[in-house]
Amino acid sequence: MAAQPRTRKWAVRVAAAALAVGCLAAPDVTASPMRPDGDRLAGAQVAREGDQAAGSQIALHEPGQPVAASELQTTGPTVAGMDVSSHQGDVDWQHWWDQGMRFAYVKATEGTDYRNPYYDQQYHGSAAVGMIRGAYHFALPDRSDGATQANHFVDNGGGWSPDGITLPGALDVEYNPYGEDTCYGLTPDAMVEWIRQFAETYQARTGRWPVVYTSTLWWDRCTGLAGDFTDTSPVWVARYAAEIGPLPHRWAVHSIWQHSSAPIDQNVFNGTADDLAALARG
C-alpha cells in the first residue's frame, strides 16, 4: 500500500469508524464505451445490459496486470476476499474457502429493475462456509435518482443486519457500460449529489453507510474533486497493479483493494480478521 500521512493503526480505526456510522431484456448496445483518452473500445467488449460485474468497466478503461495477493505491496496484515455476480453462476464456495478467501461481496442489483438471479446461492452459500459477506449495487445514475436505486438495492438483498457476518452494502460506481458518456451525462456536482442521495437513503433504511467501490481515475474525473464522503463511507478501490497508487479524492486510506480479475475478482481487506469482523458488527 502506498505510504499514508498517518500511521496504519490510525488508518484501520478510520476505516472502522466509517463503517460503524450508522431484469428486463434490453436492446443490443451498439455504441462502444470510451477510454479516458478518447479511444473507442471494441464493440465486442461491451457486456450485455443488466449484467455488469464489479470492475467490469474499470478493467476495460484502465487495463492493468492482475496481481496475486502475495505480490501486493502492503504495509500490514490483510484478509483475502472475492466478489461475484451472475457471471459466476452457482459458486463452489468451499473451493474458494480452501483457497483462503474469507469474505465476499455479492452483486444484488443494478439500476432500477435488475436482480442477480444467482444472488441467493451466492449470498447465503458464502456465509454457509464461514465467510463474512455483503451485497453490492451497480449504479446507473442516468436511469433514476440515487434514492430510487438505493431502495431497489435494499428491497432486493442489499440490506444489513447486526449478525456479525454481514458487511454494509456497497455502491459500485464506475464507467458507463451502456454508452459513450463516461459520467452518465451528469456534471460533477450532479454526480456527487446522486451518490450522496444513494448513501443517505441507504443509511436511513439500514442504519449503515454504504462502502463506495470505484477507481481513482473515474472518481476524480466524474466528481470533479468535489465530493467528500470520508466521514461516512469507506472506499473499495479497483486497481490491477502491485501498488494501490493514489486514492480517490479525500480518502486517506482504503478499506478494500480489488487487485485482480483473474480467475475471479479478488480483493484484500486492509486489516486483520478481527478488524473485518468488527466492521461487520458495526
Cα 108 off chain centre by: 12
Q: Which of left, alpha, beta for 268 (phi over 0: left; psi -120 to 50: alpha)?
A: beta
Per-residue pLDDT at 65? 87
**Per-residue pLDDT at 268 exceeds 70:** yes
Mean pLDDT calculated for residue range 190-200: 98
The verdict on whether omega for the bond into residue 248 sits within 30 degrees of 0, i.e. cis, is no
Query: Residue 201 corresponds to which amino acid?
Result: T
Contact 1, 254 (CB under 8 A): yes
Which range has the worst mean pLDDT, 50-59, 156-165, 183-192, 200-209? 50-59
d(CA 23, CA 17): 36
243 in catalytic set: no
| Weakest-pLDDT range from 14-23, 52-61, 177-186 | 14-23
Burial annotation 217-231 (CB, 10 A radius, 16+ → b, else e): bbbbbbbeeebebbe
Q: Which of 49, 51, 83, 220 is catalytic?
A: 83
pLDDT band at 28 (very low <50, low <70, confident <90, very high): very low
- The whole-angstrom separation of Cα 73 and Cα 1 is 5
* Contact (Cβ atoms closer than 8 angstroms) between residue 242 and residue 73: yes
Gap between the Cα atoms of 231 and 76, Å rounded? 23
Catalytic residue among 49, 110, 172, 220: 172
pLDDT at res. 49: 62
pLDDT in tens, 112-153: 999 999 999 999 999 999 999 999 999 999 999 999 999 999
pTM score, whole prediction: 0.84
Average pLDDT over every residue of 200-209: 98
Residue 39 annotated among the catalytic residues of the structure = no
Is the pLDDT assigned to residue 4 strictly greater than 60?
A: no
172 an active-site residue?
yes
pLDDT of amino acid 15: 44
Q: What is the average per-residue pLDDT within 58-70?
A: 89
* pLDDT tops 50 at residue 177: yes
Cα(117)–Cα(246) distance, integer angstroms: 35
pLDDT at 40: 27
Cα Rg for the chain, rounded, in angstroms?
A: 17
Q: Is residue 7 predicted with pLDDT exceeding 60?
A: no
Cell of 98: 480452501
**Residue 69 pLDDT > 50, yes or no?**
yes
Tell me how far apart the alpha carbons of residues 232 and 82 are, in angstroms, rounded to a whole number. Answer: 23
pLDDT at 133: 98
From 194, 192, 254, 198, select the one nearest 227 (Cα to Cα): 192
More confident call, 117 vs 20: 117
Q: What is the pLDDT of residue 63?
A: 81
| Mean of pLDDT over the chain | 86
DSSP per residue, 222-254: HHTT----TTT--EEEE--SSS--SPSTT-SS-
Query: Strand 211-214 relative to strand 235-238: parallel, antiparallel, unpaired?
Result: parallel
The residue annotated as part of the active site, out of 110, 174, 265, 275, is: 174
* Secondary structure (3-state) at 172: strand
Task: Quick: pLDDT tens for 232-258.
Answer: 999 999 999 999 999 999 999 999 999
* Cβ within 8 Å of residue 184, ≥6 positions away: 140, 141, 142, 176, 191, 222
The pLDDT of 51-68, averaged and rounded, is 89
Query: What local confidence, expressed as pLDDT, does residue 64 receive?
Result: 86
| All cell numbers assigned to 225 | 474533486
What pLDDT is stored for residue 78 in this prediction? Answer: 98
Q: Strands 78-84 and 235-238, how do they pair?
A: unpaired
